Amino acid sequence: MDKAKRRTLKVLGGTLGAAAFAYAMEPLRAWAKDLTVDQFLQKHYKELTPSDMAAVLRQLEDDAKTKYGREVTIEDIRPLEGVEFGYALNLSVCIGCRKCAEACHLENNHDRSTNNSYIRVLEMEQGSFDLEKGTATYDHAVPSPGKYYLPVQCQQCDNAPCVKVCPVQATWKEKDGIVVVDYNWCIGCRYCEAACPYHARRFNWTKPEIPAEEINPNQSYLSNRVRPQGVVEKCTFCLHRTRRGQLPACLEACPTGARVFGNLLDPDSEIRWVLAHKRVFVLKEELGTRPRFFYFFDN
Amino acid sequence: MRTTTLIPFVVFACLATGACTSEGTPRYGDPPGEKTAATVVHSPPKLTSIESPTKDGLGRDVRVSCVTCHGIRDAGAGFPATAAALKEFHVGLVVQHGTLPCGSCHVSRTGGTPMLHLADGTELATEETLRLCAQCHGPKYQDYLHGSHGGMNGYWDLSRGPRLRNHCVDCHDPHMPKFPPSRPVLPPKDRFVAPTASEAHHG
């Protein structure tokens, strides 16, 4: 083969290679538009100093203004000393109205088009406890004869499979028992979603769309700030409310009073009374996840 | 000379314990304090009139004050056994509350508003129905007292704020206490879920 031909082939190959490489890297350019250098270099939640955190929160508030046209307050709210949260739900009085799911949808700034919510209410056959046979898409008057209703949300497990499988430690259990996600650290691999036996985690397939006037401006870093596309999210027991002493939004919305929330470390709390006086149980106990979410029926 | 040789050890100790990187901010919020805030039970509005079948010139329901009849007539001993026997006011009242006749809960006296009474004859105002319900629904009342029955709003931590609790009749119609069936809100619409029948029809 002569040298000129060889050189032509080399140049051709090189050009094709460079073009292929540029094409392969193309998505990175679109991605970089949404991400400043500071955000790319942001540390893990637990390694942020207070001044780092203040800067991050200001940046997120600015983002909410430019991307969603709404003035919001985003705070980093820490667990309370001497508090571990527990939740119980009375299945005898739940009527399956999904008001809790709706309240969650509004409180936690979920994408409007998908009706996303951290709560999935399953319509179950009376006498059955097979979660896989429950249906979440029932569309008829409730309660329906022969059925009962099982609202399922994050069970805030003490032995949480989702936390164990995360390859980057973007999700962990806080001191007050709430399992949280650092949305800025999550890489969107969805291992946690696959690991959760309660289908409690959600993935943001698209950028959440919410009209500015519907955004809940009372936000926190680890809970209800509008999540970016491509990260996993979950119920946080409304930590932006509960760590300020308020009840979670789903409890306030419940028209039958099926939900009981409180501090497990306070022996006089409502949740402790339920644990002591009702036959409470947890979902899929055999898996050893040790949930902080309890269910009971009236005697 | 001696102090300068110590510096590397001091730096190492700081790094190892993390003492130098800490900016001294609290990691945790204050624990709950004394439960000073109140738990307020919502008071149902006092009933002073009832609807009547008559409409006014604008088509609005005419309400009739209770004392119009109960101020002059004593229904006392003459309560009908069931609501179906009512001929004037309260006609069409649906009562689905076991087999209770009107007189189980109601007392009517001349010269006063209609009142309620407990099984032992103690008379109660309409705002005090909690005690009336409790005399039969003891276990429910027990649950209510311990916060595991009945809707509420406000604070779980009473050292940080108050709580507002529902009264029995905020949720239950005393004449028909069982919740009537209702349509559920917010159907799931994610990509794994087929559209509901009504959406498929419109789409």
Tokens coding B95: 């009562």
In B, minimum Cα distance to A78 occurs at B28
Task: For residue range A242-280, list pLDDT tens digits in order.
Answer: 999 999 999 999 999 999 999 999 999 999 999 999 999
In B, minimum Cα distance to A296 occurs at B148
Neighbours of B128 (CB within 10 A): 16
Binary contact (A50, B25; C-beta < 8 A): yes
Positive or negative torsion for Cα B123, B125, B131, B137: positive
In B, minimum Cα distance to A104 occurs at B186
**3-class SS shares of chain A: helix, strand, coil, % to 5:** 35, 15, 50
Q: What is residue B93's predicted lDDT score, i.e. its pLDDT? A: 83
- For chain A, the average pLDDT equals 94
Interface test mutation site (partner B, options A43, A57, A81, A120, max chain B beta carbons within 10 A): A81
Q: How far is CA A112 from the centre of its chain?
A: 15
Q: Cα(B36)–Cα(B160) distance, rounded to whole angstroms?
A: 8
Binary contact (A114, B190; C-beta < 8 A): yes
Q: Cα(A222)–Cα(A233) distance, rounded to whole angstroms?
A: 10
Please tell me which of the candidates B31, B153, B188 has its beta carbon nearest to residue A115. B188
Q: Cα(A107)–Cα(A115) distance, rounded to whole angstroms?
A: 13
pLDDT band with cut points at 50, 70 and 90 for residue A202: very high
Q: Does B142 reside within a domain? A: yes
Q: Identify which of A37, A86, A77 has the alpha carbon closest to the alpha carbon of residue A244.
A: A77
Q: What is residue B103's predicted lDDT score, i.e. its pLDDT? A: 84
Neighbours of A97 (CB within 10 A): 23
Q: Cα(A249)–Cα(A89) distance, rounded to whole angstroms?
A: 14
Whether a cis peptide bond, with omega within 30° of 0, leads into A143 is yes
Task: For residue range A132-176, list pLDDT tens digits in order.
Answer: 899 998 999 999 999 999 999 999 999 999 999 999 999 999 999
Please tell me which of the candidates B23, B146, B182 has its beta carbon nearest to residue A49. B23
Rg (Cα) of chain A, in Å, rounded? 23
Q: What is residue B18's predicted lDDT score, i.e. its pLDDT? A: 47
Q: Cα(A259)–Cα(B152) distance, rounded to whole angstroms?
A: 9
Q: Does B84 reside within a domain? A: yes
pLDDT exceeds 80 at position A102 = yes
Interface test mutation site (partner A, options B146, B167, B168, B192, max chain A beta carbons within 10 A): B146
Tokens coding B130: 């909690």
DSSP string, chain A: --HHHHHHHHHHHHHHHHHHHHHHHHHHHHHHHT--HHHHTPPPGGG--HHHHHHHHHHHHHHHHHHH----EEE-PPPBTT--EEEEEETTT-----HHHHHHHHHTT--TTTT--S-EEEEEETT---GGG-BS---SSBSPTTEEEEEE-----TT-HHHHH-TT--EEE-TTS-EEE-TTT-----HHHHH-TT---EE--S-----GGGS--EEETTTTSPPPTT-EE---TTHHHHTTTBPPHHHHH-TT--EEEEETT-TTSHHHHHHHHS--B-TTGGG----SEEEE---
B115-117/A120-125 β-pairing: unpaired
Q: Between the CA atoms of A26, A31, A37 and A41, what dihedral angle is there, to the nearest 10 degrees?
A: -110
Q: Residue B99 contacts by C-beta under 8 Å, 6 or more apart in sequence?
A: none
Chain B partners within 8 Å of A266 (Cβ): 32
Binary contact (B161, A274; C-beta < 8 A): no
pLDDT band with cut points at 50, 70 and 90 for residue A184: very high
Q: Does B26 reside within a domain? A: no
Which residue range(s) make up the domain with B164?
Answer: 39-171
Domains in chain B: how many in total?
A: 1
Q: Residue A148 contacts by C-beta under 8 Å, 6 or more apart in sequence?
A: A91, A94, A124, A126
pLDDT exceeds 60 at position A215 = yes
Q: Rounded mean pLDDT of A16-43? A: 84
Measured in angstroms, the CA of B146 and the nearest CA of chain A are apart by 6
Q: What is residue B189's predicted lDDT score, i.e. its pLDDT? A: 79
Contact criterion met (CB below 8 Å) for A212 and A55 = no
pLDDT exceeds 60 at position A3 = yes
Tokens coding A122: 């399953």
Q: Rounded mean pLDDT of A220-237? A: 96
Q: Cα(A171)–Cα(B123) distance, rounded to whole angstroms?
A: 59
Q: What is residue B107's predicted lDDT score, i.e. its pLDDT? A: 81
Per-residue pLDDT of chain B (203 residues; tens, 9 = 90+): 455 566 666 555 545 554 444 454 568 999 999 999 999 998 877 777 887 777 888 888 888 887 777 777 766 556 777 778 777 777 778 889 998 888 888 886 665 665 788 999 888 888 888 999 999 999 999 999 999 899 999 999 999 999 999 999 998 999 999 888 999 999 877 655 555 555 555 53
Q: Where are the domains of chain A?
A: 85-296
Q: Does B96 reside within a domain? A: yes
Tokens coding B145: 């007292």
Q: What is residue B7's predicted lDDT score, i.e. its pLDDT? A: 60
Interface test mutation site (partner A, options B148, B163, B166, B193, max chain A beta carbons within 10 A): B148
Distances (CA, A) of A71 to A68, A132, A213, B118: 9, 41, 10, 55
Please tell me which of the candidates B143, B189, B198 has its beta carbon nearest to residue A115. B189
Q: What is residue A48's predicted lDDT score, i.e. its pLDDT? A: 94
- Written out in words, the top-level CATH class of the domain with range A85-296 is alpha beta
Q: What is residue B15's predicted lDDT score, i.e. its pLDDT? A: 52
Binary contact (B151, A141; C-beta < 8 A): no
Q: Does B17 reside within a domain? A: no
A-B interface: how many C-beta pairs under 8 angstroms? Answer: 148
Range of weakest confidence among A6-15, A85-94, B20-29:
B20-29
Contact criterion met (CB below 8 Å) for A257 and A126 = no
Tokens coding A88: 């119980």
Chain B partners within 8 Å of A143 (Cβ): 179, 181
Please tell me which of the candidates A50, A113, A244 has its beta carbon nearest to residue B23. A50
Q: Does B179 reside within a domain? A: no
ipTM comes to 0.86
Name which residue leads in pLDDT, A199 or B72.
Answer: A199
Q: Does B139 reside within a domain? A: yes
